Amino acid sequence: MPSLQVLTDRHDPYVVITVLGDVDATTIGVLQEQVEIAQRISSHLLFDLAGMTFMDSAGIRVLLDAYHHARANQGTVAVCSPRPSPKKVMELVGLTGYIPVHASLTEALTS
């Protein structure tokens, strides 16, 4: 059983994708499916990572794919509330140079 739960909610213009648990090769399908659904609703995605406990390269790939999809469709991608470990992974691969990272959901929705 996957140790990942993904919830979506609409906060115009964003679809907020809340990630709870570990994102890795065994759970990435759950996240990818929800991202694809969210992309059909809006080209503006906001990933709330407050509940994400772990992310490997599979998660980075989904965020990067979402970023490229958004750019191609005049949209945006942002991240909020990442825990130290996933945030460090995003920094190490340079993703934070492309995708804005906000300290909280409220900050992300108001910026």
pLDDT given for residue 36 in this prediction: 97
Q: Are 41 and 12 in contact (CB under 8 A)?
A: no
In degrees and rounded to multiples of 5, residue 49 shows phi and psi of -105, 15
- pLDDT surpassing 60 at residue 2: no
What tokens does 96 get?
A: 């934070």
pLDDT given for residue 3 in this prediction: 86
- pLDDT surpassing 60 at residue 83: yes
Count Cβ atoms below 10 Å from residue 96 Cβ, excluding itself: 14
Q: Please report which confidence band the pLDDT of residue 1 belongs to, taking 50, 70 and 90 as the band edges.
A: very low
Give me the helix-helix angle, 84-92 and 57-72, nearest 10°. 70
Percent share of the chain, pLDDT over 70:
98
- pLDDT surpassing 90 at residue 58: yes
